[in-house]
């Protein structure tokens, strides 16, 4: 079990309680996507289609967590991209994931190129536009967190409004459940 799945399993009781008693749109799902499941349209990445839209429909080897707290907007996702899966992504998807679609120049696109041989976590927020919907890299410029999952998990916790689960605050036992080889302890 990877750290994204451990996180989802750990947080699921909180998510279910909030969903039942407060917000019917509040969900957290773990997916195993294939690089071919991702597609880009108008600068947004999406993975759901009419035929594939729940975790059971996907059986790839690219972990992803989908967090939702709103009906049409209010969702984020963390996508774990290994070097092997990166090679299988379409050029359109890479352009969005790397930040090159929305940012002409700068450090963001260079970061993507510099970590081509590392597993990265792409932090994305959902956008709902008049012509399409999908995900784009989060605005906080920490959207590529190479070799550490703590930034990605903290991103999900912040987006869901459950900041007490942030790894750096160590208020829960979550950090002890995660695979130690993947945690940044510096």
pLDDT tens column, 97-109: 887 766 554 455 6
Q: 16-30, 81-95, 172-186: which range is least confident on average?
A: 172-186
Whether 34 contacts 79, CB under 8 Å: no
Which residue range(s) make up the domain with 82?
Answer: 3-182
Minimal CA–CA distance to 29: which of 101, 78, 72?
Answer: 78
How far is the CA of 116 from the CAs of 79, 125, 151, 161, in angstroms?
A: 15, 22, 19, 32
* pLDDT for position 26: 96
pLDDT tens column, 22-58: 999 999 999 999 999 999 999 899 999 989 989 999 9
Minimal CA–CA distance to 81: which of 34, 40, 29?
Answer: 34
Q: What is the pTM of this model?
A: 0.85
> CA-to-CA distance for 44 and 60, rounded, in angstroms?
21
Whether 60 contacts 37, CB under 8 Å: yes
Q: Which residue has the tokens 């995900």?
A: 135
* pLDDT for position 91: 94
Q: Which two tokens stand for residue 174?
A: 């979550």
127 bridge partner residues? 134
- How many domains, in total, are found in the chain? 1
**In the predicted structure, residue 8 carries a pLDDT above the cut 60:** yes
* pLDDT for position 57: 96
Q: What percentage of the chain exceeds 70 in pLDDT?
A: 80
> CA-to-CA distance for 120 and 118, rounded, in angstroms?
6
> CA-to-CA distance for 139 and 69, rounded, in angstroms?
18
pLDDT tens column, 145-160: 665 788 888 899 999 9
pLDDT tens column, 90-146: 999 998 888 776 655 445 567 788 888 989 999 999 998 888 899 988 875 555 666
């Amino acid at each position: 079990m990877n750290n994204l799945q451990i996180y989802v399993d750990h947080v699921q009781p909180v998510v279910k309680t909030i969903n039942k008693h407060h917000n019917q749109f509040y969900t957290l799902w773990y997916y195993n996507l294939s690089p071919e499941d991702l597609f880009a349209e108008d600068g947004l990445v999406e993975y759901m289609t009419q035929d594939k839209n729940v975790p059971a429909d996907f059986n790839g080897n690219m972990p992803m967590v989908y967090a939702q707290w709103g009906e049409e907007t209010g969702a984020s996702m963390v996508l774990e991209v290994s070097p092997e899966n990166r090679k299988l992504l379409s050029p359109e998807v890479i352009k969005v994931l790397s930040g090159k679609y929305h940012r002409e120049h700068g450090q963001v696109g260079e970061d993507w190129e510099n970590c081509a041989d590392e597993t990265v976590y792409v932090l994305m927020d959902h956008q709902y536009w008049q012509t399409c919907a999908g995900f784009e890299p989060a605005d906080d410029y920490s959207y590529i967190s190479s070799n550490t999952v703590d930034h990605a998990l903290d991103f999900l916790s912040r987006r869901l409004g459950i900041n007490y689960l942030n790894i750096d605050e160590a208020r829960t036992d979550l950090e002890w459940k995660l695979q130690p080889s993947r945690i940044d302890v510096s």
